[in-house]
Amino acid sequence: MDRKKELLIRVYVILGLFGCVAAYMIYHAIKIVAIEGDEWRQKGEELYFKLVSIEAERGKILSDDGSPLALSLPFFEIRMDTRAKGLTSELFNAKVDSLAACLVRDLYQEKSLNEVKNWLVRERKAKNRYLLIARSLDYNQLEELRTYPILRSGQNKGGLIVIRKDRREKPFKLLASRTIGLKRENAPSIGLESSFDPWLKGEEGQRLMKKVGPDLYLPVDEVIEIEAKRGKDIKTTIDIGIQEVAEEALSEAILNHGAQKGCAVVMDVKTGAIKAIANLGLDASGQIVEDFNYALGYSTEPGSTMKLASVAAMLEEGKVDLKTAVQLNGGEAYFYNKKMKDSESHGVGMSDLQYSFEKSSNVGISRLAYEVFGSGEGQKKFAEYYKKFRLHKKSGIELEGESVPVVKHPVEDKDKWYGTSVPWMSVGYEIQLTPLQILNFYNAVANRGVMMKPYIVSQILDDDKVVKAIEPKVLQQELFSEKTLTQLNILLAGVVTNGTGKVIQSEQFNISGKTGTAVTNYYLTGLEQKQYQASFCGFFPSENPIYSCIVVIYNPTQGGYYGGQAAAPAFLKIADKCMRDKKLVATLVNDQPKPLLANEVLPVGNHGFSKDFQKLFNHIGLPFHEAKNNEWVRTISNNDGIYTLPQQVDIKKVPDLAGMGLRDALYILDKQGVLASVSGVGKVVWQSLEPGVLWTDQNRRIEIQLQ
């Protein structure tokens, strides 16, 4: 055989083998598709399994006494697999009438028995494996449904499919609603629900599911591969009683003053724990709603409440004290070509720092600030004090969305710093702070100079077991010197006893604080109507503060727009509630013996010779803390006793005689070669020449008035 034939035979053999294999494969393909297709398709469907995540029950949000502010309530969706493996035709036909009767009785009252029965029969014939029976059933309704004919046999024999869906509920409805927040699927979550989501959400479980149709999976005999772990509870610092009163007082203030919105925050002085945080506004229909966390996320120019910061800076610098004289010029002054005005013309000329603060004089505070910090180096010092007071930093509260403070610096913000920045910042303009950030600064004054971090969650709990305790945290240990702190407390108490906050004096306890009235659209130059922001920030009781609080009313349009009119009364209502809860107002202050060191009975506010004061206080047995190496001093007090502030007397300048007795005043004037004309008796309350003015040959005469 030649080689050609041999090669062809081999090719034919190979082709024959390939043909046989192909025929065999075609035969089996036809057999699988045409003859055994239904059987294999059934087996294929039964092999489609997957693990599906099961959402865990979300943890609760609790108040400080354990009452639930937010919790997850279980609701159930009921479906039926009309072709369940164990649901025989005999069972279905025998019990379908009874099942229909139960459904009509409890769920489908608007339908007839025949309608429901025919519907069930029709869906079984259609092989519906995911028939919707009911939505949003509570637990009791579910237990009742489990007793229905057919369904009582469970998933395998009765086709019962139970799908749990938790619904987040707030038992106190709108109370602290924005702070509690929302857990949302298709939008950003907010409040505690968002900030503490990793703790609240728990751990997902997994359930084995079988595919029964396109994108349709059913549980496999209620088999759960991994059990879901319930989320942890979080215990907040919110006091429900204080929160409720804060919202009531805020709502009343907004409505009475025709305001757009408002907020109120109450803080525990010693710890920084937030006891209440209310944020309310008006919707388009004029209804009160809680639509935004203004206390945390709304940063504005605060106005006069932040005079406290500039005064603290001046006192720390040591160049002024409470009786440092300042010319108010009737309530009007110029810095460069820019006019500074008080809230109203008052006709007052020469005054001092204490009067300026208590009466909230923009002119007085800004003039003093400019004298102390107006120079190039002084401006930098001024900004550095604001940094020392941590006004440029966020409070650090656990809630999301806190705005960053805007506090300018002459070096870091050269393009935004002007010659007028110091006087305007000193009265609360050209800076931006949130109400919570302002309150935290005041809280540090109330807490003897210790600044705490505000916090709103105290514990993470797992079935009443503490998983994590959140302790109070000190942000800065010593914000002010003792002398500055003493004077700040005198000023804040004086606002309520003598100044713009006098309307909220209480017979039951003493309040310290500051009013604020900011014009929020002052930059407009047309004839637009002015818009205001009214606020009151302070603490109580003054002698040993327990709570600090701030109330801000945005754009009041009626019934008064000053802080003392719109915000202070709401502050008082909140304070009354706080003190009632502490059981500290059962006895009127006037019925109690006054403490030995009450400011109003101490010989304070005097100005004179240091050695004379030392002899006097030692003789009467009052604690006396002397400023060393100073011939002339001014007296102030706190609960520790009498303090003295050094007073410098420059022989070339007109001295500050306010608070002096006649003997000391004449002694100083005589040493300076000045003639004095005197009227009245008591201490010096007025002098004809402004302190600090250089003596000249033409002005060597001065008039002083005693009272």
Domain harbouring 160, CATH code = 3.90.1310
Buried b (16+ CB within 10 A) or exposed e, 475-490: beeebbeebbbbbbbb
Instruction: Say which range, 98-102, 296-300, 522-526, 614-618, has the weakest mean pLDDT.
Output: 522-526
Residue 625 has pLDDT above 70, yes or no: no
- 200-256 tens-digit pLDDT: 998 887 777 777 666 676 777 655 567 778 999 999 999 999 999 999 999 999 999
> Which two tokens mark 12?
């034919």
* Cα gap 342→519, rounded to integer Å: 12
Strand 451-452, strand 350-352: pairing: unpaired
- 247-292 tens-digit pLDDT: 999 999 999 999 999 999 999 999 999 999 999 999 888 899 988 9
Supply φ then ψ for residue 645, to 5 degrees. -110, 130
In a shared domain, residues 173 and 207: yes
Using alpha carbons, select from 79, 82, 105 the residue that is nearest to residue 161.
79
In a shared domain, residues 544 and 486: yes
Instruction: Return the beta strands (E) in 546-631 as ranges.
Output: 547-554, 607-609, 624-625
pLDDT band at 661 (very low <50, low <70, confident <90, very high): confident
* Cα gap 643→627, rounded to integer Å: 8
pTM of the model: 0.77
Count Cβ atoms below 10 Å from residue 622 Cβ, excluding itself: 15
Query: Could you tell me which residue, 684 or 160, shows the higher pLDDT?
Result: 160
In a shared domain, residues 216 and 338: no
Domain final residue pick, 233, 253, 277: 233
* Cα gap 453→443, rounded to integer Å: 10
Count Cβ atoms below 10 Å from residue 313 Cβ, excluding itself: 25
In a shared domain, residues 476 and 333: yes
Average pLDDT, the chain: 86
In a shared domain, residues 586 and 553: yes
In a shared domain, residues 221 and 253: no
Domain final residue pick, 196, 218, 233: 233
Using alpha carbons, select from 661, 580, 570 the residue that is nearest to residue 255.
570
Does a structural domain hold residue 42? no
Instruction: Return the beta strands (E) in 10-92 as ranges.
Output: 49-54, 61-62, 68-80
Which domain covers residue 174, as residue numbers?
54-233
In a shared domain, residues 539 and 660: no
In a shared domain, residues 463 and 529: yes
Domain final residue pick, 184, 217, 233: 233
pLDDT band at 305 (very low <50, low <70, confident <90, very high): very high
Residue 531 burial (C-beta neighbours within 10 Å; 0-12, 13-18, 19+): middle
- 41-53 tens-digit pLDDT: 665 555 566 777 7
Does a structural domain hold residue 375? yes
Does residue 202 contact residue 56 with C-beta atoms inside 8 Å? yes
Whole-angstrom Cα Rg for the chain: 39
What confidence score (pLDDT) does residue 344 get?
Answer: 85
Residue 621 burial (C-beta neighbours within 10 Å; 0-12, 13-18, 19+): exposed
Residue 342 has pLDDT above 60, yes or no: yes
Query: How many C-alpha atoms does 377 have within 13 Å on its Cβ side?
Result: 1
Q: To the nearest 5 percent, what fractions of the chain are helix, strand and coil?
A: 35, 25, 35
- 60-81 tens-digit pLDDT: 999 999 999 999 988 999 999 9
* Cα gap 344→591, rounded to integer Å: 38
What are the distances in angstroms from CA 479 to CA 205, 373, 384, 451?
50, 19, 13, 7
pLDDT band at 694 (very low <50, low <70, confident <90, very high): confident
Strand 641-647, strand 624-625: pairing: parallel
> Which two tokens mark 287?
């209804």
In a shared domain, residues 169 and 118: yes
Domain harbouring 297, CATH code = 3.40.710.10
Query: What is the SS3 assignment for 117?
Result: helix
Query: What is the SS3 assignment for 625?
Result: strand
In a shared domain, residues 200 and 338: no
In a shared domain, residues 455 and 335: yes
Name residue 326's beta-bridge partners: 351
Does a structural domain hold residue 11? no
> How long a stretch of residues is the chain?
707
